[in-house]
A and B are shown apart, each in its own frame.
Chain A
Amino acid sequence: MPPDAEALAEADIEAVAEQVFVALADPSRRAILAALASGGPATATDLADRLPITRQAIAKHLALLAEVGLVTPEPGERRRVRYRLRSAPMQVAQQFLAALARDWDGPLGALKDHLDRSAHGPATTPHPSRPGAT
């Protein structure tokens, strides 16, 4: 990739991750996204029935989420707009979390112990740790 495209890509990926985290910082939006993830596409009215949030507030949040591309509006029954979760931005944010969740210190400590053990005596039960687990 040429440097310009790379810089642009980095700006893009940061912007996408930021939008996801901003959206998730609000408990109402978190509840709406969680409802769409678990129950599938829904209208503002469907969501108002399921969540302790007014229909008006839900409509406002959905408009904001649609604007940043976290949900997609699509035609539903009786000319009501249904909203569907877009997973692509979530996966970008997940990449960011994957970097934060990666634990190399645990495995490197285990490597050190393993080498010391095998040098100084019989092997004992190792304590492996999965990278990414904390």
Chain B
Amino acid sequence: MTDKATLDALEALLGKLTVSEFRGETRVVVPRDQLFQVLELLKTKRSFDLLIDVTCVDYLGYRDAVDRFGLVHQLANSVTNERIALRTFVNEPDLNIPSAVPLWQGANWLERECFDMFGIEFTGHPDLRRILLPEEFTAHPLRKDYPLQGRGERHNFPVLSRDRG
């Protein structure tokens, strides 16, 4: 569902393009240092004015995975209904990604959530702090090495009993 013109423009910017298509969706792999230029190109030249989603996948233990974290930006064009998905791969310890907030305001909270859940840091984000979990929480829960039941944070509270509560 991505126009050929968009892919040509991306190829002009990036050189060789790693594109894959699955079930009608086009996914382009973008190297991390060119991510902001790609986003800017798509927004200004190809009028992808809606940032649908910014999310992350932890590929620890995934079959045939090379890098650990894959960031996905879903973009859409509200006029022509074109969609594209951009994937960026990062590895520990350097988890810095350029932030999309200068281009789309909607990226603000989406990136905060990625930081909260995975620990990805977005350079250029105006206010990068935890959003869904309390500030005192130390781990990044959606990583694959964090257990589902947690590490005891959920029951770390004082108990109120009937006579002293």
Asked if A and B bind, the verdict is no
